[in-house]
Structure 1
Amino acid sequence: MPQSKKGISLFKDIASVFFTKVFVLFVGLFSSILVARALGAEGRGIMAAVLIYPQLLVAITEGGMRQAAVLYLGQRRASDAEVIGSLFSYMLVAGVAGYGMCYWLMMTVGPSDFGHVMMAVAAAILPVTLATNALKGIFLGKEKIKDFNKVTWIQKVIYVAGIGVFYILGELTVFTAVLMTLLAAAFNFIQAIFYLNKKSLFSFSFRLKTFKAMFGIGFVYAIALFFIQANYKIDILILSWLSTPYEVGNYAVAVQLGELLWQLPAAVLVVLMSKTANSKGNEIVGTLCKATRLTLFITVLSCIGLVGASYFLIQPVFGLEFSSAFMMLLSLSLGLVLAAVFKSINSYFAGKGNPYFTIKLMGAAVTLNVIFNYLLIPKYGGVGAGIASTISYTFSAIGVVTVLVLKENVSTRDILVVKTSDFDPLLIKLKLKRR
């Protein structure tokens, strides 16, 4: 395939995932506004504290098998049926174990106001999410980007519709919001199964050798993913221990707004990991550098717009109780931009089946995050948590750029500084449309 057509194809895949993720996040943002207005800062904080447990444990219990499936399917290391069989055999066992682990943790170290029914519902989110993530891994391994998008956006529509109904009926509580999270995840799983069957991708056989090989590399992915997730989520957990639900609620809103900046790098990560797993040697490094510098350029511009808009809109949209969220978002902003660099480049190493350096890098970043959270939260609350996260995000971005420069012999400028030629695929696409 000519280089220009490859560029257009990559641009189309990234754009499709990006716009899907932006749509998903804006739909989620609308539901977040309803939740914030119905629950207030304290209730929003309790909800964030409940959901943080299944969110963090997914990365551990998933065992990296989804990433292993992308690698094995993309590089055709085993038959599709063997890969899928190994994937789901593991997810079945991990789902049961993960449910028990999640429930036990909430019961032993979670706030006392969770309640057993609430914990049971929240813990059930974990096995359903595990199963859905496994299915998404199949889509990515087979480069079925459109099907991946469909599985992603419909879940959020179901969720926001349910939240909207509960809000109109005056029944939107922490429990019903958590319940809708579970119901939407369950629908997402059923929908993914439907698409797999429709595409005739769901074949199943089990071979112990394939399972052991996938589990071996998957275990390394799992450790790396846990550190990545912990770096993004542990501030909420520590904030819930050292501060008040009110402070956690404001910080949760700041984080959700900040996640708007991560939709492009998240799209780049999804597509590049899929493309890298299906590529040979280092042929995709040039594309990686181009995607990273474009991502950084767009994320910087988006950050300026987001911070400016948030200054005027947070209180009118979310309510006066969330007035502290702006300063928390401001403390996070530089870190959110630099995290985009890490997300983009890390997709290359993940797609190549080499997550080992990620473990070392993110292990150090999480350690920094925990240390600064404990130092800053008691004095500065959510703003302190934001500063701690910015420090760890900065460290991880510098680390991943350094590793790429040394490993692939590229310059820092090639990775970070945008070029006018980077926009050529977009211009070609626009010219083709005019014809």
Structure 2
Amino acid sequence: MRGRVTGELFRTVVANTSARALAIAGLTFATILVARTGGPSAVGEYALLRMLPGLVGVLCVLGLPGALAYFLAAPRRDLPRLWPTLIAIGFGGALFGTVVWLIASPVIAHLFFPDEPALLIAAAGVTVPTQLLLTLGKTALQGLEDRRGGDVVIAAEELAFLPCYLLPLLTGFHGVTAIVIGLGLADLVVAVEAWRRVSRLLGWRRYGLSGDGLGWFGRPDRELGKQIASYGLRGQVGGLITLLNLRLDFAILGAMAGPAVLGSYAVASKYAELLRLPGTALTWVFYPRLAKLGQSEAAATARRMIRPTLIGILLAAIPVALLTSPVMRLLYGAAFGPAVAPARVLLAGMLLAGASGVASAYLYGRGTPGLNSIVLGIGLVITVVLDVLLIPAHGAMGAAIASTAAYLSTDALLIGLLLRLSAPSNARHGRPAVPITEVTS
């Protein structure tokens, strides 16, 4: 039985990793097109517009993306008035995030897009709700354990941008305008498919036709909303810190060195993140599963995955590092030659990512996302301090060194925490995955 479970888990992780690899391929082709039409500066603007609106949106929904998978896992998914509460949080956060972006757009334009009109950057606020709609649909599929649907959405999220970006280019729009239109259209197209799958999984009653409190529409439950926000905010701290650890160097480098340097660094960063795909997939697949297991079984399952993930990432890193220079120059051209050295430094920072992905899934699954957030916060401090110290003198290479130090430190701490909490004595006496009544504790 263990062999069958392990084989099924392996296939699931491979499928999810493949979906993320397809997403990276789509992002790569889109970045190549942006680079060929606008150069490194356009790539830098594309990276910022892909990151900043989504960051604003996630901050304004009380951690809902991180809480969805937990609250949609059986049996919590059938709580009365769950969906009206989720929709109220999501809609309110999307509206608030859009207003925040509009108010902050002059400052955002001055810091990150000095050559673009503030009105155009304000218009990019339309991607705050579209990215949220897509993110929530994706995490809803995760909670409902539609792994195939989740994989489709993960791949389509980046693949859809290329045709949606070509459309405004062919109709006469260029630069940031074409990027904003492409991002918004791609988000909407994929979000519609994600929510279609969610609707099919939940049944027609979820369109509001059910009168037993299980439909999509109705009066939100304030106490349930507090529980969702409590879990979500604790988890969001970790998710936000993870995002900042991955992308804060983009913002700092863009503000200090400009879009052109950022463009080369963005290419290097996305290339190095190929090694993070298996770890992210393990978190995605493991988290809902571990949440359903008893503490001892969850601990034993997580511990068994540490060694193979460490070895697997190490073996994968060798060919990826050797191919860095030819891939960069072939795909992006000679203008992106400076991206080669930072990419190799960043690859070193990904060596522990597989095992740390298992550790994050274990912490979320046992109902303690705050521990994950604390560890990630340490990495964020390292990122900020080293970015400020190294970027002014060393540019993209300084950002790469800072991020690598933060990645390795954070991943090592997460793995150590997993080993300590999952030790047989702790696992026997540890609490099980947190039920709904304990979420606010």
TM over 0.5: yes
Partner residue in 2 for 1:430: none
| Distance (Å, rounded) in 2 between the aligned partners of 1:229 and 1:217 | 18
What are the superposed Cα offsets for residues 386-419 of structure 1, whole Å, 9 maximum, x if unpaired? 00001111110121112112211179xxxxxxxx
| Distance (Å, rounded) in 2 between the aligned partners of 1:345 and 1:121 | 39
Partner residue in 2 for 1:421: none
| Distance (Å, rounded) in 2 between the aligned partners of 1:290 and 1:40 | 46
In structure 1, what residue type is equivalent to 2:267? Answer: V
Partner residue in 2 for 1:367: 381
Residues paired across the two proteins, number: 410
| Distance (Å, rounded) in 1 between the aligned partners of 2:156 and 2:46 | 22
Q: How is 1:292-331 mapped onto 2 (pairs within 5 angstroms)?
A: 292-331=306-345
In structure 2, what residue type is equivalent to 1:337? Answer: L
Residue 42 of structure 1: CA displacement? Answer: 1.8
In structure 1, what residue type is equivalent to 2:417? Answer: V
Partner residue in 2 for 1:149: 151
Partner residue in 2 for 1:177: 179
Partner residue in 1 for 2:411: 397
Residue 78 of structure 1: CA displacement? Answer: 5.8
The structure-2 alpha-carbon separation of the partners of 1:14 and 1:313, relative to structure 1 and needing over 3 Å to count, comes to closer
Residue 167 of structure 1: CA displacement? Answer: 6.0
CA contact (8 A) 1:34 1:163 kept: no
Residue 188 of structure 1: CA displacement? Answer: 1.5
Q: How is 1:222-233 mapped onto 2 (pairs within 5 angstroms)?
A: 222-233=236-247
The structure-2 alpha-carbon separation of the partners of 1:282 and 1:314, relative to structure 1 and needing over 3 Å to count, comes to same
In structure 2, what residue type is equivalent to 1:253? Answer: V
| Distance (Å, rounded) in 2 between the aligned partners of 1:255 and 1:367 | 19
Partner residue in 2 for 1:3: 2
| Distance (Å, rounded) in 2 between the aligned partners of 1:77 and 1:163 | 40
| Distance (Å, rounded) in 2 between the aligned partners of 1:395 and 1:410 | 25
Tell which has more relative contact order, 1 or 2 (C-alpha 8 A, sep 6+).
1
Residue 29 of structure 1: CA displacement? Answer: 1.1
The structure-2 alpha-carbon separation of the partners of 1:73 and 1:155, relative to structure 1 and needing over 3 Å to count, comes to closer
| Distance (Å, rounded) in 2 between the aligned partners of 1:282 and 1:114 | 56
Residue 136 of structure 1: CA displacement? Answer: 2.4
> Is residue 278 from structure 1 mapped to residue 292 from structure 2 by the alignment?
yes
The structure-2 alpha-carbon separation of the partners of 1:46 and 1:72, relative to structure 1 and needing over 3 Å to count, comes to closer
Q: How is 1:23-422 mapped onto 2 (pairs within 5 angstroms)?
A: 23-77=22-76, 79-80=78-79, 82-109=81-108, 110-111=111-112, 112-164=114-166, 172-201=174-203, 202=206, 203-204=215-216, 205=218, 206-409=220-423
Name the % identity.
21
RMSD of equivalent CA atoms: 2.3
Residue 125 of structure 1: CA displacement? Answer: 1.7
The structure-2 alpha-carbon separation of the partners of 1:245 and 1:333, relative to structure 1 and needing over 3 Å to count, comes to same
Residue 168 of structure 1: CA displacement? Answer: 6.8
In structure 2, what residue type is equivalent to 1:401? Answer: I
In structure 2, what residue type is equivalent to 1:177? Answer: I
Q: What SS does the aligned partner of 1:122 have? A: helix
Partner residue in 2 for 1:419: none
CA contact (8 A) 1:75 1:277 kept: no
* Deviating more after overlay: 174-183 vs 92-101: 174-183
Residue 169 of structure 1: CA displacement? Answer: 7.4
CA contact (8 A) 1:163 1:172 kept: no
What are the superposed Cα offsets for residues 196-245 of structure 1, whole Å, 9 maximum, x if unpaired? 22223533253222222111111111222111111111001110121122
Residue 250 of structure 1: CA displacement? Answer: 0.5
The structure-2 alpha-carbon separation of the partners of 1:353 and 1:84, relative to structure 1 and needing over 3 Å to count, comes to farther
Residue 75 of structure 1: CA displacement? Answer: 4.9
In structure 1, what residue type is equivalent to 2:308? Answer: L
* Deviating more after overlay: 146-155 vs 366-375: 146-155
TM-score scaled by structure 2? 0.86
The structure-2 alpha-carbon separation of the partners of 1:304 and 1:165, relative to structure 1 and needing over 3 Å to count, comes to farther
CA contact (8 A) 2:168 2:182 kept: no
| Distance (Å, rounded) in 2 between the aligned partners of 1:305 and 1:219 | 39
- Show structure 2 runs of 5+ residues with no match: 207-214, 426-441
The structure-2 alpha-carbon separation of the partners of 1:29 and 1:198, relative to structure 1 and needing over 3 Å to count, comes to same
CA contact (8 A) 2:61 2:92 kept: no
